Structure 1
Amino acid sequence: MKVLVDLRPLQSPDFAERGIGTYARNMLRVLNSRFEGSMDGLSADNFPRPDSPLPESKARFYRPKFRKLVPFNWLFDRIVISAKLCWSDYDLLHILEPFRHALTLPRRSRTRVVCTVYDLIPIIFPEHYFPGGIRGRVWSMGERFNSRLIPRIDRIIAISENTKRDLVERLGVEESRISVVYQSVDGEVLKPDGDPERDRAVLDGLNIPEKFILYVGDVDWRKDIASLARALARLKSPGDKDVPLVMAGGTIAERESHAARGAWEAINNAGVAGRVITPGFVPQDELASLYRSAACLVFPSVYEGFGLPPLEAMACGCPVVTTDASSLPEVVGDAGILFHPGDDAACAEAIMKILDDGETASEMRDAGLKRAERFSDENFAGGVIAAYHAAKKRAV
């Protein structure tokens, strides 16, 4: 079987260092030694080459930057890539960013299409994603049009049962055409038994004290930083009231974006700005040191397609406090403490339980490590390969 993987998300600054980019790199990592067919990468010539183990592909193409004329970019993609695939010998095209690249679907081609869908958050919460005016209407129309193409894809990989349920209920996709495949993390990096001296050196380099609470991720509206800040303010006991919150991620540290300004406003309103440390973007090897050293990870998200930081934390032996919303119970199970979104009192109570009770923290570390074993490289690779075969079989 010959597969072409769309690597354009790894060329995009919007995705390369975020969840989709991490998913793409992890998927290629686990397939690299397990997939018995051949695999190439599709990329655009006028963007930096993607950081990928895949070889150069004959399917590279030039994509002009029409900038504000986004619909013309979509049209160009469809014409050029579909034409290339019509003359290629690829059995499968794997799209890794459906809502931008669904128009890449080949027409009159033997190439079947597999698509990973992470979530339908822009469709479920459109009020948070589309600006006003003509540009907003164009984006909204494009998103809706792309979403209508998704049910026509030969095989869909959903990263959680929650995403599968949304695909069925929101877009009318047949359940039989969806494969739920849980991703894994890089166990060579994200592991509980790191070098204590190196971990301490990482903390010192980022000016992080020995005892801290950790948050990892973006700071847009659904991450509910306001609840996190209020929970931090509720830590009143002598041993807890000065424990800082480390927020790892580039957006909160830059302070310039709309999301960052909203997060800092919430932090200031809660009166905890002096306890928040923002080291900025942290590469994965250093992030592992933060996970291993943190008292706990707090992840108060309102909605996720999967929820990678809780899995990364559990793989490193870090206790997890998160919400019972969307896919997060699938990931954490009974290994973490769950609370309802927006309930900062329950969140604070969970944090204090971990900070003040060493036995609870130890039990949660052990439970998290055991839970993380379910999300193995073998299961991730096996699920993706099975989806490829299902798509190929459908083409017969």
Structure 2
Amino acid sequence: MKVLLDLQYLNVATTGIKTYMMELARAAMSYPHPDIVWIFSHDPETQSADQTFKDPKSKIQRLNYHLDYFRWKEFQLPDLIKKHQPDVLICPDFVSPAASLPCRRLTVIHDAFFWQMPQNYPKWWRTYFLRLIKKGLKENTEIITTTEYSRKSLYKHLKKIYPMTVIHQVPKKLANGVDTVFLEKHSLENHKYLLHIGTFDKRKHLPLLVRAFGDFLKKTNAEFKLVLAGGAGQSVQMNDKPVVDALVAELGLQDRVILPGYVSDAQVRTLYEGAFAYVFPSENEGFGIPIVEAMTFGVPVIHSDQPALLEVAGDAGLSFNTGNQQDLTEKMILLSSDFDLRSSLLQKGFARSKDFSSKKFIEAFHQVLLSN
């Protein structure tokens, strides 16, 4: 069986989808199957490093990217299929070609955000992208998604029922070594800070986290800091970074809330290894990679009771009512004062993280690929 993996989107992908694509390609290479031959549309490392369309500064640059993406999906990728004649095409970025294809399609739709949260996207872009997704769901199409929550959400919003399989993804492998200069620069001490890594999208509820952290400090007089690492939200509609900046100033937390911006893999590893706890207050997630990452490093996790996060964490996380600032503050206080609870969560989390391995990830794909 020949399988073509479409990696074009790596030239602009960030955060979760980038990790998904890179780790799928790496797992395919690391755990070969005797009955499957993998063909990559692009070298993953080279495509990921391509800067041509990253961080467009103008409408013209954004338009050029969309034209390039459309040209790839609708013309160049079908031509590649004619050349290699794969049995299966995997598109891990929501969109499969609208053209008729002579092979099975596995389209990865990571979540239902475009349907659930229309207010977070420019109207024209959301309409265009949803049209691309729907036009690619044709012929012999099967959908892969990341959690049971996402599967149920997609069935609710898609008008046609497609075969759909849940495959839990895996976090990226972070290089060994720590960046001690980074910790010194921000005056961070091991196990003296709470951590969140990710963009400042509105659905992440980071203003709620800042307010809860401020209340936590008032009620405990603890010497903790809060690190919010990551860049601005992906659009003006989605970006909560200005709100967080203003809130930090309003609450006088400039010395306690650290905003380092984007961080390197070495810095991510450094932050995980020194964190007292990871806090994930998001109102909506398709999976929640940071939960697994934190647990891998032996960091206890406080997370909202959003369904996908409950599914990923299992019984190894400390959940609070989504959107409830008081409950989040109470969970911070509980974790900081109960050593036995923290120790238990650490052990459970480390065990839970082993359920999300590259080997299990690719074996689940092998099972789907060989099922027909």
TM range (shorter): 0.7 to 0.9
The whole-number CA distance in structure 2 between the counterparts of 1:173 and 1:380 is 27
The question of whether the paired residues in 1 share the 8 Å contact of 2:145 and 2:151 is answered with yes
User: Match of 1:161, as an amino acid?
Assistant: E
Work out the CA distance in 1 between the residues paired with 2:82 and 2:309. Answer: 40
Inter-partner Cα distance in structure 2 for 1:29 and 1:73: 25
Q: How many matched pairs?
A: 354
8 Å CA contact 2:114–2:126 kept in 1: the answer is: no
Change (3 A) 1:106 1:276: same
Would you say 1:121 and 2:113 are equivalent positions? yes
- Indicate yes or no: 2:63 matched with 1:68: yes
Q: Aligned residue for 2:189?
A: 209
The alpha carbon displacement at 1:86 in A equals: 3.0
Distance in structure 2 (CA, Å) of the matches to 1:162 and 1:215: 22
Deviation at 1:28, TM superposition (A): 1.6
Distance 1:267-1:32 versus aligned 2 partners, 3 A rule: same
Residue equivalent to 1:80: 76
Q: Give the equivalent residue in structure 2 for 1:42.
A: 41
Match of 1:355 in 2: 336
1:160 corresponds in structure 2 to 147
What is the deviation of 1:373?
Answer: 1.5
Q: Distance in 1 between matches of 2:64 and 2:29?
A: 37
RMSD: 2.9
Aligned to 1:30: 27
Deviation at 1:267, TM superposition (A): 3.1
Amino acid at match of 1:203: L
1:304 is aligned to: 285
Whether 1:92 aligns to 2:88 is yes
Q: Identity over aligned residues, as a percent?
A: 25
Whether contact under 8 Å (1:184, 1:376) holds in the other structure is yes
For 1:234, what is the secondary structure of its paired residue? helix
1:81, 1:106 within 8 Å by CA — same for their partners in 2? Answer: no
1:140 matched to 2:126? The reply is yes
8 Å CA contact 2:143, 2:165 repeated in 1: yes
User: Are residues 218 and 74 of structure 1, via their aligned partners in 2, closer, same or farther at CA, if it must alter by over 3 Å?
Assistant: closer
Q: Deviations over 1:114-164 (max 9, x none)?
A: 11111110211111112xxxxx43x23312312423543622111111111
**In 1, Cα distance between equivalents of 2:63 and 2:137:** 28
- Asked whether the 8 Å contact 2:98–2:132 carries over to 1, the reply is no
Q: Which residue identity is paired with 2:142?
A: R
The structure-2 alpha-carbon separation of the partners of 1:71 and 1:214, relative to structure 1 and needing over 3 Å to count, comes to: closer
* Distance in 1, Cα, partners of 2:68 & 2:181: 46
Note the C-alpha offset of 1:375. 1.5
Q: Provide the C-alpha distance between the structure 2 equivalents of 1:148 and 1:384, rounded to a whole number of angstroms.
A: 23
Distance 1:182 1:173, change over 3 A: farther
Q: Is 2:100 the partner of 1:112?
A: no
Distance 2:251 2:277 in 1: 20
AA at the equivalent of 1:208: L
Quote the Cα distance in structure 1 between the aligned partners of 2:83 and 2:18. Answer: 29
What is the letter of the counterpart of residue 179 of structure 1? T
2:158 corresponds to which of 146, 171, 176:
171
Q: Which residue of 2 aligns with 1:5?
A: 5
Pairwise CA distance, 1:110: 2.1
Extract unaligned runs of 5+ from structure 1. Answer: 53-64, 131-135
Counterpart Cα distance in 2 of 1:372 and 1:173: 34
- In 1, are the aligned partners of 2:6 and 2:92 still within 8 Å (CA)? yes
Separation of aligned partners in 1, 2:147 and 2:297: 21
Letter in 2 for 1:231: A
Tell me the alpha carbon deviations over residues 316-346 of structure 1, each in whole angstroms, 9 at most, x when there is no partner.
1101001011300001111111112211111
Please give the TM-score of this superposition, normalised by the length of structure 2: 0.85
Which amino acid in the other structure matches residue 10 of structure 1?
Answer: L
After TM superposition, give the deviation of residue 25 of structure 1 in Å. Answer: 1.3
1:326 corresponds to 2:345? no
CA apart distance, 1:237: 5.7
Partner of 1:318, secondary structure, is: coil
Cα distance in 2 between the residues matched to 1:379 and 1:330: 17
In structure 2, how many angstroms separate the alpha carbons of the residues matched to 1:4 and 1:224? 38
In structure 2, the CA distance between the partners of 1:70 and 1:294, relative to structure 1 (3 Å rule), is closer
**2:205 alignment counterpart:** 224
1:345 and 1:171 map into 2 onto residues whose CA distance is 36
Q: Deviations over 1:211-237 (max 9, x none)?
A: 111111111110011110110111146
In the aligned structure 2, how far is the partner of 1:186 from the partner of 1:145?
30
Cα distance between partner residues in 2 of 1:167 and 1:296: 32
Say if 1:321 and 1:336, in contact at 8 Å, map to a contact too. Answer: yes
8 Å Cα contact 1:208/1:277 also seen in 2: no
Q: Secondary structure at the residue paired with 2:39? A: strand
2:369 is paired with a residue whose SS is helix
What amino acid is aligned across from residue 68 of structure 1 in structure 2?
L
Aligned to 2:55: none
User: Is the 1:159–1:183 Cα contact (8 Å) retained in structure 2?
Assistant: yes
Return the alpha-carbon distance in structure 2 between the equivalents of residues 343 and 150 of structure 1: 39
Pair 91,336 (structure 1): closer, same or farther in 2 beyond 3 Å: same
